Amino acid sequence: MSAPLVIVFPIYQGVTQLDFTGPLQFLRRMPGAEIIVASVDGADIASEGLHFTRLQKLQEVTRCDVLCVPGGGGCVQALQDARFMRQIRRLGPDARYLTSVCTGSLILAAAGLLQGKRAACHWSMRDSLALFGAIPSSARVERDGNVISGGGVTAGIDFALALIAELHDEETAQMIQLYLEYAPAPPFQGGTPELAPPHILARVQAQMADSLRLRREQVALLAQG
């Protein structure tokens, strides 16, 4: 009997829950997969009104085939957490696939794992990838060698299906897509800066301006060492 395919989601305070619960919902239906959700010390994690408990201790995870790092509002704090980043640097080099959703790619990049690699990210922080030697991509799902990354939040589901097709085959991915009735038909045209109506984009950018400027400055300082 073959060993299970180990997929690890390392999570942290302020993670965006859909960044990992979306892909997890799909990946857990994949044959032969063992999914581990872990935090430093196995600490409970708060995420947008939800709490995740009984997590595995990240430092006790010995290996993974797929390292999948989610993003979120707490991403900068995670980048500043030496204990968390130490585990990303420990697990990443031996993983068959380095993967991420949203600003999770910034964590992989800051860990030194995406040098010269194309990676997707949430549009608001995408350019910051270049500070760590990665190549920003506007793709919803980007593939560069063993690096597979999804764009912002909901792109995690498309990313999961692409990953399932990579690990198994397209038919397996399509079957899981059907089981979970994933047939997106959004009621509004938008969702990216390129597709959103100009006045909607302007309002969102105005609402994000102060917090986004602070996050970008913090990330730039981290990149300087």
- For residues 109-131, one letter each, b for 16 or more C-beta atoms within 10 angstroms of the residue's C-beta and e for the rest, the string is bbbebbeebbbbbbbbbbebbeb
**Do the domain assignments include residue 16?**
yes
Q: Rounded to an integer, what distance in angstroms lies between the CA atom of residue 105 and that of residue 1?
A: 34
Q: Determine the pLDDT at residue 214.
A: 95
Q: Rounded to an integer, what distance in angstroms lies between the CA atom of residue 13 and that of residue 36?
A: 17
**Do the domain assignments include residue 218?**
no
Tens digit of pLDDT at every position of the chain (225 positions): 578 999 999 999 999 999 999 999 999 999 999 999 999 999 999 999 999 999 999 999 999 999 999 999 999 999 999 999 999 999 999 999 999 999 999 999 999 999 999 999 999 999 999 999 999 999 999 999 999 999 999 999 999 999 999 999 999 999 999 999 999 999 998 999 999 999 999 999 999 999 999 999 999 999 998
Find residue 93's DSSP bridge partners: none
Q: Determine the pLDDT at residue 2.
A: 76
Amino acid at 35: I
The separation between the first and the last C-alpha atoms of the chain, rounded to the nearest angstrom, is 46
**Do the domain assignments include residue 221?**
no
Q: Determine the pLDDT at residue 3.
A: 85
Q: Determine the pLDDT at residue 1.
A: 55
**Do the domain assignments include residue 103?**
yes
Q: Rounded to an integer, what distance in angstroms lies between the CA atom of residue 149 and that of residue 48?
A: 23
Tell me whether residue 193 is exposed, middle or buried, using C-beta atoms within 10 angstroms of its C-beta: 0 to 12, 13 to 18, 19 or more.
middle
Closest CA to 98 of 10, 196, 212, 25: 10
Q: Rounded to an integer, what distance in angstroms lies between the CA atom of residue 171 and that of residue 177?
A: 10
Catalytic residue among 64, 68, 75, 102: 102
**Beta-carbon contacts of residue 206 (< 8 Å; ≥ 6 apart):** none
The string of DSSP letters for 95-144 reads -SEEEEETTHHHHHHHTT--TT-EEE--TTTGGGGGGGT-EEE--SEEEE
Number of domains in the chain: 1
The DSSP 8-state label assigned to residue 59 in this structure reads: G
**Do the domain assignments include residue 146?**
yes
Residue 168 belongs to a domain with what CATH number? 3.40.50.880
pTM of the model: 0.96
Q: Determine the pLDDT at residue 32.
A: 94
Q: Which domain holds residue 139?
A: 5-186
Total residues belonging to the chain: 225
**Do the domain assignments include residue 209?**
no
H helices present in the chain, as ranges: 17-27, 75-80, 82-91, 104-110, 155-167, 170-179, 198-223
68 in catalytic set: no
Looking only at the bridges linking them, the beta strands covering 141-144 and 147-150 are antiparallel
Amino acid at 40: V
Q: Determine the pLDDT at residue 174.
A: 98
**Do the domain assignments include residue 206?**
no
